[in-house]
């Protein structure tokens, strides 16, 4: 069974829903929006609860080429995303400041660093994508849709990245670790199972919040999307609606209170009774039903 996101349309609803497809193809108005693979790699994620926490994996095998990509979200201005060491060689990706992402490495010719600077802070608790590549000819770094930064390799000298330590995701060796969430970490085409490693590592939580970015519009009528691990919920307390998606009309005192709070400080024109619909007041009955 594969996991996919589907658009489930109904005449009275326009929400996006998540469902699992069986072997049969999608039928009717359902459309596959995103295939995340049998391993759920798109949302394979881990939360790093403090700057000294880290996950470790086998040594990265990227002697002549490295292709690394992942998403991150954080509220802190700096921290190491990942690092792998050799005797003198190393490879590292880090958030150096609220606006700077750094890709650095050494293959024996001296340290090389590529930095992408964002015009807006990256520690905004939103998802950001990082793509770093290195081969014997050049290296590059891209963050979100910002311009890619590249650096050509020297025409002479060492070309092989020789590493021996474990790969550390997050801080290690007394460095300023990463505080936040990382998901969909792929290295040379292989997805690292962050969730499974987090489950067996003390102090970690598998999964990351961030679903409001993708599904926040499911909260209707002014409902507020609230992040949860492995999901989200809709806060309808300041609206005149209730239900999972704030789409059920409230009755009585709570509805009146919610309406007053939602529109506090705004000005409206009140039509004299009777409130009628007609050519001179198009749609007024509908408006009245919505406001009362």
Give me the pLDDT at residue 89, please. Answer: 93
Taking only the tens place, the pLDDT of each residue in 126-152 is: 899 999 999 999 999 999 999 999 999
Give me the pLDDT at residue 116, please. Answer: 98
Sheet holding 79-85, edge to edge: 54-57, 167-170, 79-85, 90-95, 100-106, 112-117
Q: Which of 111, 64, 65, 117 is nearest to 92 (CA)?
A: 111
Q: How high is the mean pLDDT of the chain?
A: 75
> 209-292 has which CATH code?
2.10.25.10
| Structure confidence at residue 161 as a pLDDT band (50, 70, 90) | very high
> What are the φ/ψ torsions at residue 82 (nearest 5 degrees)?
-160, 155
Give me the pLDDT at residue 232, please. Answer: 74
| Structure confidence at residue 49 as a pLDDT band (50, 70, 90) | confident
> 42-206 has which CATH code?
2.60.120.200
Q: What is the mean pLDDT of residues 44-58?
A: 88
Q: What is the mean pLDDT of residues 168-192?
A: 87
Beta bridge partners of 225: 234
Q: Say yes or no to pLDDT of 289 above 90.
A: no
Give me the pLDDT at residue 226, please. Answer: 73
Give me the pLDDT at residue 19, please. Answer: 38
| Structure confidence at residue 100 as a pLDDT band (50, 70, 90) | very high
Give me the pLDDT at residue 6, please. Answer: 38
Q: Which of 185, 209, 205 is nearest to 196 (CA)?
A: 205
| Structure confidence at residue 288 as a pLDDT band (50, 70, 90) | very low
pTM recorded for the entire structure: 0.62
Give me the pLDDT at residue 194, please. Answer: 94
Encoding tokens for residue 14?
């326009």
| Structure confidence at residue 277 as a pLDDT band (50, 70, 90) | very low
Taking only the tens place, the pLDDT of each residue in 65-98 is: 999 999 999 989 999 999 999 999 999 999 999 9
**Which single residue is written with the structure tokens 């509908």?**
286
Q: Which residues of 183-221 are buried (b: 16+ CB within 10 A; e: fewer)?
A: bbbebeeebbbbbebbeeeeebbbbbbbbbebbeebbbb
The dihedral through the CA atoms of 113, 116, 117, 123 has a sign that is: negative
Give me the pLDDT at residue 12, please. Answer: 35
Cα–Cα distances in Å, from 20 out to 40, 101, 216?
A: 12, 36, 20
How many residues make up the chain in this entry?
292
Percentage of the chain modeled with pLDDT above 70: 67
Domains of the chain: which residue ranges? 1-38, 42-206, 209-292
Most confident of 202-206, 218-222, 227-231: 218-222
d(Cα 98, Cα 120) in Å, to the nearest integer? Answer: 8
Q: Check residues 238 and 35 and name the one with the higher pLDDT.
A: 238
């Amino acid at each position: 069974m594969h996991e996919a996101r589907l658009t489930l349309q109904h005449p009275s609803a326009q929400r996006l829903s998540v469902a699992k497809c069986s072997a049969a193809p999608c039928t009717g108005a359902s459309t596959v929006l995103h295939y995340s693979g049998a391993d759920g790699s798109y949302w394979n994620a881990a939360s790093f609860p403090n700057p000294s926490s880290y996950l470790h994996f086998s040594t990265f095998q990227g002697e002549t080429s490295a292709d690394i990509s992942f998403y991150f979200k954080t509220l802190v201005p700096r921290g190491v995303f990942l690092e792998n060491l050799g005797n003198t060689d190393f490879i590292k990706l880090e958030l150096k400041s609220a606006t700077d992402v750094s890709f650095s490495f050494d293959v024996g010719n001296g340290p090389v660093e590529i930095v992408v600077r964002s015009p807006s802070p990256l520690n905004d608790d939103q998802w950001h994508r990082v793509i770093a590549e290195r081969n014997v000819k050049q290296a590059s770094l891209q963050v979100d849709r910002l311009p890619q930064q590249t650096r050509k390799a020297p025409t002479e000298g060492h070309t092989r990245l020789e590493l021996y330590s474990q790969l550390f995701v997050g801080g290690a060796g007394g460095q300023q670790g990463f505080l936040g969430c990382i998901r969909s970490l792929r290295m040379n085409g292989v997805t690292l199972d962050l969730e499974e490693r987090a489950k067996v590592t003390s102090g970690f939580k598998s999964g990351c919040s961030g679903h409001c970015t993708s599904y926040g519009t499911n909260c209707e009528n002014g409902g507020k999307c609230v992040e949860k691990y492995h999901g989200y919920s809709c806060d309808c307390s300041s609206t005149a609606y209730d239900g999972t998606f704030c789409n059920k009309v409230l009755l009585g005192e709570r509805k009146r209170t919610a309406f007053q709070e939602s529109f506090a400080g705004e000005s409206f024109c009140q039509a004299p009774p009777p409130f009628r619909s007609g050519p001179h007041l198009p749609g007024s009955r509908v408006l009245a039903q919505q406001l009362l």
